Structure 1
């Protein structure tokens, strides 16, 4: 269980750091005239992400889940995903955020992981919603939150695509 508690502390510290970065970037972007979209679904997204960890803790503790050899493989894959997450945040720089915030008439980032796909951060979140429960054999959490994440992304990605199409210079190239 020590590994589980250390892992949770790591994740909480990471998420708080990301929220601090996002808040700082949001302030910078709004000072430059950025607009925010998707405010209606954002609280639901926060609820799902926070509930994920609550359910994970409850499932692991109440069902007395133990680590196995596979747990360390999933942990290694998780660490690799975190490297990609850092690459994503570094690539977007001041434009990275947990919200849909767009600075009108800017060009889309088309370097780093964005050279290969449009929404790599959503892929990493999806991978985390799979790997973290697998690491601790929390299969109820895995199924429930993978489904909830799919529902949220079915709302969020089309909205983000629409906003980016309408408010940015998609054809102009790299920021």
Structure 2
């Protein structure tokens, strides 16, 4: 279980780094006329993702569950892979990456890196991490609750992002 807890703590630290990147990139976007949409779903998203990490740390202890190698090892690999995909997205988008929905008018859509194959690869990383990280530590309830709530949140988020990017996709922005 030590490897699992190290991964969860590392993920917590990674989230702090993400927030710093978000703040820097938001300033970059706003300086170029960026427009933010979807502010209403952002606080619930922060709470949900904080809850995921808290559940990953607490549920195995409170439920007295140990590491199950048959499930834990593949889930650790998937969780680590989701981090790799997330940072590939961040690197590919550069200063345009953000945890908030901010669109800079006049910039074309990115179609390199993982965006060559997927429209929303960062959300693939979020979905995979959302079930893999808790399952790696036998936090079954956390995995199930996060997955259901995240599906609802991603529905809202994707609609918001698609609307915000529609002018870019049609060339009218």
Which category of TM-score, normalised to the shorter sequence, fits these structures?
over 0.9
* 1:130-169 equivalence runs, <5 A: 130-166=131-167, 168=168
TM (normalized to structure 1)? 0.92
Q: 2:76 aligned with 1:62, yes or no? A: no
Where in structure 1 do 4 or more consecutive aligned residues deviate above 2 Å? 1-5, 55-58
What does the per-residue CA deviation read over 1:59-106, in whole Å, with 9 as the maximum and x for residues that have no partner?
111012211222122112222222211111111001000000000121
Over the aligned positions, Cα root-mean-square deviation in angstroms equals: 1.4
What does the per-residue CA deviation read over 1:41-69, in whole Å, with 9 as the maximum and x for residues that have no partner?
10011111111122222211101221122
Q: Which residue of 2 aligns with 1:129?
A: 130
- Deviation, 1:9, is 1.9
- Deviation, 1:5, is 3.1
What does the per-residue CA deviation read over 1:129-175, in whole Å, with 9 as the maximum and x for residues that have no partner?
11011101111111111000000011110110011013x2x256xxx
TM (normalized to structure 2)? 0.93
Alpha carbons 2:76, 2:132 under 8 Å: kept: yes
Q: Is there any run of 5+ residues in structure 2 with no aligned partner, and where?
A: none
Aligned residues: 170
What does the per-residue CA deviation read over 1:24-51, in whole Å, with 9 as the maximum and x for residues that have no partner?
0001110111011100110011111111
- Deviation, 1:2, is 2.8
Aligned partners of 2:114 and 2:8: how far apart in 1?
A: 27
Aligned partners of 1:101 and 1:114: how far apart in 2?
A: 17
Aligned partners of 1:158 and 1:143: how far apart in 2?
A: 23
Aligned partners of 2:103 and 2:58: how far apart in 1?
A: 37
Alpha carbons 1:107, 1:171 under 8 Å: kept: no
Alpha carbons 1:59, 1:141 under 8 Å: kept: yes
Q: Which residue of 2 aligns with 1:26?
A: 26
Aligned partners of 1:63 and 1:36: how far apart in 2?
A: 41
Q: Is there any run of 5+ residues in structure 1 with no aligned partner, and where?
A: none
